[in-house]
Structure 1
Amino acid sequence: MELARLLLIPVVWVLAAAAAARSPGCATRCGNIDVPYPFGLDPQCAIHDGFQLNCSTVGRDTKLFHGTLEVIRFSVHDGKAWLKTFISRQCYDQATSDMSYNNAWVNISNLPYVLSASDNKVIVVGCKSLAYMWSDSYIIGCKSTCDKPLKNGSSCSTGNAGCCQADLPTGVRYYQGFFNELYNTTEIWRKTPCNYVTVMESAAFSFSTAYLTSTVFYDTDDSRTPVVMEWGITRQTCEQARINKTSYACVSDHSDCVNNDAGYRCRCSDGFEGNPYTMDGCTDINECLDNVTYPCAGICKNTPGNFTCSCPRGRSMINGVCASVGLVALVICITCAYLIRERRKLHRIKQRYFRQHGGLLLFEEMKSQQGVAFKIFSEEELQQATNKFDAQQVLGHGGQGTVYKGILKSGIEIAVKRCMTIDEQQKKGFGKEMLILSQINHKNIVKLLGCCLEVEVPMLVYEFIPNGTLFDLIHRNHSQHNSLNTRLRIAYESAEALAYLHSCASPPILHGDVKSTNILLDGDYTAKVSDFGASILAPNDKSQFVTVVQGTCGYLDPEYMQTYELTDKSDVYSFGVVLLELLTRKKALNLEGPEDDRSLSMRFLYAMKENKLEDILDDEIKNNENIEYLEEIADLARQCLEMSGMNRPSMKEVADKLGRLRKIVQHPWAHENPEELDSLLGEPSMVNSTGTTGNFSIAKKAAMGLESGR
């Protein structure tokens, strides 16, 4: 498989002291592109190394590059840059009578950018294509077919007119495009030879039927598409950056600091324009020179950051007063009428969204089912609770949305999930599904308190869990010792929660995104499985399966990637990866390591095959006394990671086995007393043919159902 790699030049972010302006004599233009500060074409011309660009001659053209990415333009005001990235393609090769692949990847981890989630989309083009964007955290993709007549400018949202699109998660700094090889153009190559996937600016994409019948979408001279990047001066918040006055970048008077996914950036205050990164760079806007944007019927007087408009001189006082009063009255009437109309319009929009998401059905069901602890929140309530969804209230970002901490008027702490999108299929039954999810009552599942339906994309309201995530406990808090007992308890509690969703909920619920960041820890460090509100009810037929593939890299079931069908065994696979994290204290995906070691599950399976399990176990829990228990847990994880879902245990079986293991680990004296061990496991003593008690390890394995062949 051919791999078109974008290798970017590593940079070290070291801010120059008091970098208030670029040095004299610095070039400010490359070809026809302006290069604004903080960017520069030489080290002394940029605010720091991460903003240094290269101006190069390519053929007859002069082009601007950041690393190997071509830069198209900048916007200092918006803190954005437009660059070109490569397209991944899957084409039929007549010479080999087989498919050929060119999977491009982009790594901007060492540059001051993140891909803008609001401006870009994952675009898939083709008549028989299932393609993905594999980011540093998520796998997102969709299926494109040509089931309906194709038209230029067709919408990509349906996926059946030659293209489809998926939303981009926030904070992406790395991605690679790749294809499901079961979907290809082998049988249709004469009409549609290729499939494509790329991340690009959604506003720049316009579908053309020529993209399917030729290679025009992948032009050999410039096979790249525009993508919007947001930049940050450093990966600090505004509060952190202000502490160091010598390196703080917002040096102009009348400038403000803004937090974004890339870190922090600067902008001129309202009423000012220019460059906030240079001394006196933000200058006053003279509104009086722009009567279109800032209309004034009288005498316009410019003021710093604003302007005033007064009556023309020479008119009589009475006429002036009458005219002024009349004008004011007219303005007040027009304003009131406008506000009333807009309020009614907003109310109608909210009512439409409420009905669209099944709010009326949900409300009626809640009235008929007395005692349902579920609330339909208004948008205003959640705005107040989260301080208008202030960035300081953000608890975390995910592939489907952002979670904010909030406090209701009653003083109850909540977590509000603001989702990015919802497909048409989910909209129809959203209210009914919310009622089903609200009735889940399990000590190891985060309680869904309610939802807000009067917005375009519904918001979910959960109970607030204070001690962060399992991911933080394992990977970020290295100073805290986590015993095998603690880890096994968390694994058991999480498995119990998932088993409840699969087996006890009616109808069964598939989580769909099991990972250590979705397992929260309360005040007593009890595990609480979260984010099941983004799950789906177990479908009754294949027509109900989702049409957009998404999940978290390192946890996603490989069978799901092939069959396009989410099952309860998909959750089992993902839980197996969580078990590995608890055993090894290693991340599910490590992009900084060697290619063979990036996937924890692949590394683990190789270690098991080579009898080198001890090499990857966490030293904190590994010793001669408990190695046998660790091997049992590892074997359970191996079963969860079977490639075929049919060969994996159910979550109920996983929870039962973890529960039995907990009893053994909690009572090490069972080594010396097999009868006590049997009572813990709920199994009869195992006695050999001579009447003596059999080997402890074999007896234990048999009692737990973990001996190979069972």
Structure 2
Amino acid sequence: MKYPRLLLNIRLLLLSLPAVMVLAAADDPPAHRPGCKSRCGDVDIPYPFGIGDQCAIHHGFDLNCTVVNGIERPYDGPFEVTKISVPDAKAWMKMGISWQCGHDARQSVWSDYFTDTPFRFSYVDNKIVVVGCNTLAYMKSEPHIVGCYATCSDDSIPKNGSCIATAGCCEAGVPDDLGYFEAYFNKKYNSSGCGYIAVMEEKAFNFSTTYLDPTKTAFWDASYACLSNNSHCVGSTNGRGSRCKCADGYEGNPYVKGGCIDINECNNRTDPCAAIGGVCQNTQGKFTCLCPPGKHETNGVCVAIPPPLPPSTTTSVPWVMPVVGASVGSLVLVITITCVYLIQERKKLQDIKQRYFQQHGGIQLEKIKSQQGIAFKVFSEAELQEATDKFNEKRVLGHGGHGTVYKGLLTGNIEVAVKRCMSIDERHRKEFGKEMLILSQINHKNIVKLFGCCLEVEVPMLVYEFIPNGTLFRLIHENHGRQISLATRMQIAHQSAEALAYLHSWASPPILHGDVKSSNILIDCDYTPKVSDFGASILAPTDESQFVTVVQGTCGYLDPEYMQTCQLTDKSDVYSFGVVLLELLTRKKPFNFNLDGPEHEKSLVLRFIYVTKEGKLEDILDDQIMNDESMEVVEEVAELAKQCLEMCGENRPSMREVSERLDRLTKSMQHQWAQQNPEEIESLLGESSMASSEVIVNTGNLSIEKEAARGLQWGR
């Protein structure tokens, strides 16, 4: 099996790593076992990994330290390991790329290599990338077939750094729990030129228009191998591919970290500054010519400084010196007083910030974070001021009942959402640090990740991951001409319910969201929902005294039982989620003050209850999902929403039950489609009408997203 020379960083999840670390912590230090190598080349080898007998926790973490071109490099089987992060439970490895030129296919088959190991491909960090004109390629890993179709349309011009399906580059998501895959090309489309497919770390890939050059039979993107600072990628001397080169003023090996070393031009036999009469001084990557004492530069040449003019013979006025002295003294006094005042004010500000930090539990948070090694950052106010351009109004993403959200850009070009809360009650103020620590440990694909917080202000600020495609409210109510299939709505409903069920049933301690609504559900680029805004959330109460609180939430979503008792429970979230289900079924807002008529016409819940009693459900449904094939599923979802909206909380299902019922309905709908259209499962992979589309096939339950395959919704 031949592979091109392109090496790509592949990020893998170490699913068993956290458990084995707990078992080994009592016997071995966190770095490595005594007598075992802690580094191979420039890569740290932390425990539970190891090199040599009895150095790893078990054989699944054994690595080999191999000398390649005179440099030590760690390997896991045939794959070079470039980095290991135990806190993130991730490892970076270099793997191959599959390619085909014309009908000459080169398929990379890594069958079952990671199946019986602790490793899995990270579906969060990696993407399946296909490059080429008219290239249909896909990865097969039972029960999944995932790939996409890249074309070269006359309407789309390829651009460096932009992966666009109609301009020679497309991407597809990596399935969850992927341990192996096989790469394939559809020869019907790859008739000329070269096409490529690989799984790689998304942020490491940078598309180049040179990849589409029809004269090349393979490409090698050396930028992935240029590890040294002060190095860059250049075209090769034979016109095929590219290579690494140290920057001007540096020499050495650009393929290793620290390999490019500064050239000391001043040590050369020929003094580069002799021609201008200067003295050579070396700097990083270059040199400077300085004029020696007694000379200065004139027109690029060091010349002698002319002697000073003789002192003035003008007679000084007797009163000039006292006046000048008094003025200077006054100026010094003013500057001194100003400096003392500024120092005092700065100290007062620091004292205020420290007091807020302590009030919000910052000391306890830092202590626990340090002990447990949690990747949760406590930001300073200055960092968030800089990230949001001093909270510029142009950076506002939205306003809510609990604060304003700004788009921020942290060091390293990391996009985040910064939320400035408006207020915080006394109980949350005392427990804020502890609650932030708990929320930061929530790791669910359908819940927005909390990166950190700022505690040195009166009301703490929160820093979340940035989701670019807006809210579910905007998708439903502000895009009236846009088609939203029932399959997409079911996916959003099911995955949102899974997130809330996770908070209620699997988080420790359980978490009540408190403000479930469509504007608090963000939509990712592939219509994946992410529950956000935990401003009204509380940890599940442990005694009755903690139930009493100020009723807060959003009109149209509030649980009637919560408004009467002031007791927020998990069934309050169930009621609010029932309203979200109605929005998905009807594309109507929860409350419309502009409508004339009786009260039940303004409230979506009251109108829904009225039409269901009259047996006229069709009067309220969205026309886009009303057809004979889908009505059975729609009616069952409506029945589930009705149960969620029961006045008595005890009669409502739990979020776990809601999630399981939506899962069954989704699978039954997919299974029904597959039985009715078996011939389309294979044809969708090669359908000529596909353009900039992402193919998602699940052969385990014979389900396929037709809209995705035809590019109606998820094409990139």
With structure 2 as the length reference, what TM-score do the two structures score? 0.49
- Pair member with larger Rg: 2
